[in-house]
Amino acid sequence: MATSSVSVADSALAKSPAQSDSRVPIRDFSMVIALVVIWGFFAIASPNFISARNLSNLTVELSITAILSLGMLLVILGGYIDLSIGSGVGLLGAISAVLLSQHNWPAPLAMLVAIIVAVIIWFGMGALIVTQRIPAFIITLAGLLVFKGLHWKVIQNSTIPVTHGGEDNLYSLLTTWYLPPIWGIVLGAAVFALLATGTWRARQRRESFGLSVDTREVAFARLLVTGQLIALFVLVCNGYQGIPLSALILAAAAFMVWVLTQHTRFGRYLYAIGGNEEAAHVSGIPVTKVVIGTFVIMGLITALGGFMQTAYAGSSTTTTGELLELDAIAACVIGGTSLKGGRGNVVGVLFGSLIMASLLNGMTLMAISPEIKYIARGLVLALAVWMDVRLNKGK
Amino acid sequence: MASVSQSSKPATERPVLLRADNIVKRFPGVVALKGVSFDLREGEIHALCGENGAGKSTLIKTLSGIHPFGSYEGQMLLDNKPLELRSTGDAETNKIAVIYQELALVPEMSVAENIFLGREPKRGAFIDWITMSEQSRALLQRFGINVDPDTRVRDLGVGLQQLVEIVKALAKESRILILDEPTAALSESEVEILLDILRDLRERGVTCVYISHKLGEVFAIADRITVLRDGASIVTLDADKTDRSEVIRNMVGREIGDLFPRHATNPGAPLLQVRDLNVAPPEGSNTRLRDISFEVRAGEVLGIGGLMGAGRSELLMHIFGAWGTRTSGDVSLGGISLNANSPARSIAAGLVMVTEDRKRYGLVLEESIGFNLSLSSLGGMTASGLLDGNREWKENRHYFDSLRVKAPGLESIVGKLSGGNQQKVVLGKALMTKPKVVFLDEPTRGIDVGAKLEVYNLINELTASGQAVVLVSSELPELMGMSDRIIMLHEGEIGGTFSRQDATPEKLLAAAMGQPVPTDHTLLV
């Protein structure tokens, strides 16, 4: 069910085994069970968890985690890692916040500056990693420390709001604007219609190539479940203030990353580099360019995540963004991304992000103390990687 | 010479120390040893000679416990008692030491630490560094090796490392020392030191098995020579009663029949021209290419042969843009200069390479056949940024069918295919780029006879359609059977060029070994 909505619509003919691998459904299934258990537990322990208001908050939190995880997916697919994005979120969010609230810059311009900074920094890190052969782990760990220090310098260890004089702007609206309910319904219906036609066309194409397809019943059931989930999501969101803008951003980002990984040369090269970098090079793949490109995209996504995270908190403080890199890595691994590279997909990462975001949201709601939250996050990360190692055995 | 009584007797009269009796070793799909028998007499230096793939390495692995007792047929006797080695540890207990081509030293440790690795002298619970250092110094001095035992191994040249490795084996007081191509990485003076060490050991009663292609060394040192061919022992000769040509004849001696269906075409214009190429090796390699010039014409198969380490693969990889640094020389493809520094540029220019190590350089094993087939050709399948799935499917299907890949479909995972089918996928990936020149490095290694024939037919199809093929092969029959012209490399230089009609195994081997090429035709196979 986890792979239903997107991978059926997938028509890539040289499909990544990440989607045809027989082990994956087991993992997908265990992800669904884990999610049900987590939600069930929090719903009982803290009934507010399933209130429309909290689910709306959870959606915003999910958007931030998931967007960062999608960037991390690209980096990990190529066989690399980025530990710096938590600090990067803090730094990039802070740059825009300072320009906006202290220098009275218009929000789009303030954000553009942070985006340019992000591209330059991540281009540099990617180039160092792939041309100088310095392990990504080290370069981005250094980045983690440097960006943290820069972040604190930028905000001078104080709290910088994301508005000037309390007026809403593009930046602050990222996590506070909601789609009017009626538009939410229209959008939900439109997405479902696109999904249905996409599924149908992909199915016909696979049939015309003589490839195996699901039986009509299974395909129909999948579509039905997907439709119900979309309807449920729209109704829950409309029960509060409507679909959050951040959810729309996430949907757009997820769609783009999915197209990138499944339907472009860049994505195919990324899987090849992560699967066997030497073979990729000898096959004529511009490994250096692709890896640097991946890091640049990671930088762009970090900037976006930085705006959203800072806007969600309302201001930039010394702790903004802290540990988000670990949540993103955990979400990827939970979602079936192999840390060795070459295996993983968007749907899995979205699921992994939902699990991570739910855990954090639920614990906050239960007023669990920060020390226990740290321990829980650490254990989840270790558990996820252990699962990854276990499932990769015999490869 | 006279210090040990046995060494004064001729080798043939000394008692047999180790006897291998009709050893047969099978791998899935291949019989690597088809019956090897030889005996090793106490205190002799016994050379094993044979072409690449004759079974030398497999034989050593049975003698060293890597292929444990029970995984092969036949019998081994040590001191007339059955020898059943179940592990490399068993070999050590029986005082058999093997020195492989790839060194087993820890580069970050000192010479002394390496020599005593795993059996460090102790005082109480602690390592006795002083004793270790002194004993190492004594050992090194005894063999005339001028190295400080406290030097880190990584700071030594490859040749000295090799000598340290030998000292390490000797420090275990082995009775039988097996050396696999020990001089491949040594300079001439280092070779001399090594040969002196071995002579010294012979006087001390140590028995040696010496594996080498280099007949000069073999005749300089061996008491007896056993020739292996196609996994069988052919003959054992006394070194002082034979000569090089007899050994070469025995190494080659087979017929080249219709296994190689080469249809020669009339070569057209030169496609690939290589002039005065000099290439410095990258870090970690010491194969240097010197003054290499050749050309390949449209419709022609140029064979490149040579012994292990002669620089065959390196030459192709360099022209392809994936190995070494060019110090001088020029390459052009179809008259246009091609000095590629990356495979991507070569492929764009119409030159593609099928590498020898297909698992390392050829395939993304976890991915599907389709993924791998189209990997080098995606540039032409992209429209407005998106992959054209229909086009990719058609191309993939075409090569899947025409190469007769035996698999359920394009979505099957490549890693699960047999060697022959994996090789077809690598070939298909190369051909899909629509190349003008195709480099094939050992294209039939490790695949079965039927798949080999399909590869040969493919070569014919390529040349018939005006493409040029450069074929590197370790197997002389394949080289002679499929090439229109043959270049033999010897230590990074061209040792000789032969037309198809001129080429005889003796001439090719002589050129590969840097010997004068025999001119008469009295040496018939």
Instruction: Decide: helix, strand or coil at residue B34.
Output: strand
Predicted local confidence at residue A141, as pLDDT? 97
Q: Which of A88-102, A130-144, B12-26, B249-263 is predicted with the least confidence, judged by mean pLDDT? A: B249-263
pLDDT category of residue A21 using cuts at 50, 70 and 90: very low
Can you tell me the ipTM of this complex? 0.84
Cβ atoms of A261 and A345 within 8 Å: the answer is yes
To the nearest whole Å, the CA of B2 is away from the closest chain A CA by 56
Interface of A with B (CB under 8 A): 11-17, 20, 205, 209, 211, 259, 263-265, 268-269, 271-272, 275-276, 278-286, 342-343, 395
Predicted local confidence at residue B519, as pLDDT? 63
Between CA B492 and CA A336 the distance in angstroms is 47
- Contacts of residue A275 in chain B, CB cutoff 8 Å? 364-367
A337 within some domain: yes
Helix, strand, coil percentages in chain B from 3-state DSSP, rounded to 5: 35, 25, 40
Amino acid in the structure at residue B375: L
pLDDT category of residue A33 using cuts at 50, 70 and 90: confident
In chain A, pLDDT over 70 holds for what percent of residues? 92
Which distant-in-sequence residues (6+ apart) come within 8 Å of A65 by Cβ?
A324, A327, A328, A331, A353, A356, A357, A360
Predicted local confidence at residue A42, as pLDDT? 93
B433: left (phi over 0), alpha (psi -120 to 50) or beta: alpha
CA A25 to chain centre: 21
CA B338 to chain centre: 29
pLDDT category of residue A393 using cuts at 50, 70 and 90: low
Cβ atoms of B212 and B180 within 8 Å: the answer is no
Residue A23 predicted with pLDDT over 70: no
pLDDT category of residue A20 using cuts at 50, 70 and 90: very low
Predicted local confidence at residue B127, as pLDDT? 84
Predicted local confidence at residue A111, as pLDDT? 95
- Contacts of residue B409 in chain A, CB cutoff 8 Å? 211
DSSP A149-194: HHHHHHHTTS-EESSBTTB--HHHHTTT-B--HHHHHHHHHHHHHH
Q: How confident is the model over A206-233, as a mean pLDDT?
A: 85
- Contacts of residue B343 in chain A, CB cutoff 8 Å? 281-284
A68 within some domain: yes
Interface of B with A (CB under 8 A): 320, 322, 342-344, 346-348, 353, 355, 360-368, 370-371, 373-376, 378-379, 382, 385-387, 389-390, 392-393, 396, 409-411, 413, 429, 433
Residue A218 predicted with pLDDT over 50: yes
A74 within some domain: yes
Predicted local confidence at residue B308, as pLDDT? 77
Comparing CA positions, the residue from B345, B362, B454 lying closest to residue B402 is B454
A98 within some domain: yes
Predicted local confidence at residue A9, as pLDDT? 34
Predicted local confidence at residue B163, as pLDDT? 82
Residue A310 domain boundaries: 30-177+292-392
A55 within some domain: yes
- pTM of structure: 0.75
To the nearest whole Å, the CA of B97 is away from the closest chain A CA by 33
pLDDT category of residue A17 using cuts at 50, 70 and 90: very low
B491: left (phi over 0), alpha (psi -120 to 50) or beta: left
Q: How many domains does chain A have?
A: 1
**Both tokens assigned to B480:** 């002679």
Predicted local confidence at residue B159, as pLDDT? 74
CATH number reported for the structural domain that contains residue A37 in this entry = 1.10.3470
Cβ atoms of B33 and B72 within 8 Å: the answer is yes
Mean pLDDT of chain A: 88
Predicted local confidence at residue B170, as pLDDT? 78
A86 within some domain: yes
* DSSP-assigned letter for residue B152: B
To the nearest whole Å, the CA of B307 is away from the closest chain A CA by 24
Instruction: Decide: helix, strand or coil at residue B226.
Output: strand
pLDDT category of residue A395 using cuts at 50, 70 and 90: very low
**Both tokens assigned to B4:** 């040990």
Pick A139 or B85 by higher pLDDT. Answer: A139
Between CA A277 and CA A285 the distance in angstroms is 9
Between CA A135 and CA A129 the distance in angstroms is 6
A386 within some domain: yes
**Both tokens assigned to A194:** 């696109």
A254 within some domain: no
Comparing CA positions, the residue from B257, B325, B235, B338 lying closest to residue B296 is B338
In chain A, pLDDT over 90 holds for what percent of residues? 69
Q: How many CB atoms lie within 10 A of CB B26?
A: 13
- Contact criterion met (CB < 8 Å) for B366 and A209: no
Between CA A20 and CA A22 the distance in angstroms is 6
Comparing CA positions, the residue from B301, B47, B290, B298 lying closest to residue B183 is B47
Q: How many CB atoms lie within 10 A of CB A176?
A: 16
**Both tokens assigned to B285:** 């390699």
Predicted local confidence at residue B52, as pLDDT? 65
Comparing CA positions, the residue from B306, B314, B309, B311 lying closest to residue B508 is B306
To the nearest whole Å, the CA of B363 is away from the closest chain A CA by 6
Cβ atoms of B400 and B428 within 8 Å: the answer is yes
- Contacts of residue A269 in chain B, CB cutoff 8 Å? 378
Predicted local confidence at residue B525, as pLDDT? 36
Between CA B471 and CA B473 the distance in angstroms is 6
Predicted local confidence at residue A1, as pLDDT? 34
Angle (CA) A135 A137 A143, round 5°: 110
pLDDT tens across the length of chain B (525 residues): 334 444 455 656 788 899 999 999 887 766 788 889 989 999 899 999 887 667 888 888 888 888 898 889 999 999 888 988 888 888 888 888 888 766 778 888 889 988 888 778 888 888 888 888 888 998 888 877 888 888 888 888 777 887 888 888 877 778 899 998 887 767 777 788 888 888 988 888 889 999 887 778 899 999 999 998 888 898 999 988 888 778 877 877 654 445 677 887 788 899 999 999 999 988 877 788 999 999 999 999 999 998 877 889 999 999 999 888 999 999 999 888 888 789 999 999 999 999 988 888 999 999 999 999 999 999 889 888 899 988 999 999 999 999 988 888 898 999 888 778 899 999 999 999 999 999 999 998 777 666 778 899 899 999 999 999 999 998 888 899 899 999 999 989 999 999 988 888 888 988 988 887 766 544 443
User: In which element (H, E) is residue B352 found?
Assistant: strand B351-354
Sheet holding B270-280, edge to edge: B289-297, B270-280, B325-333, B336-337
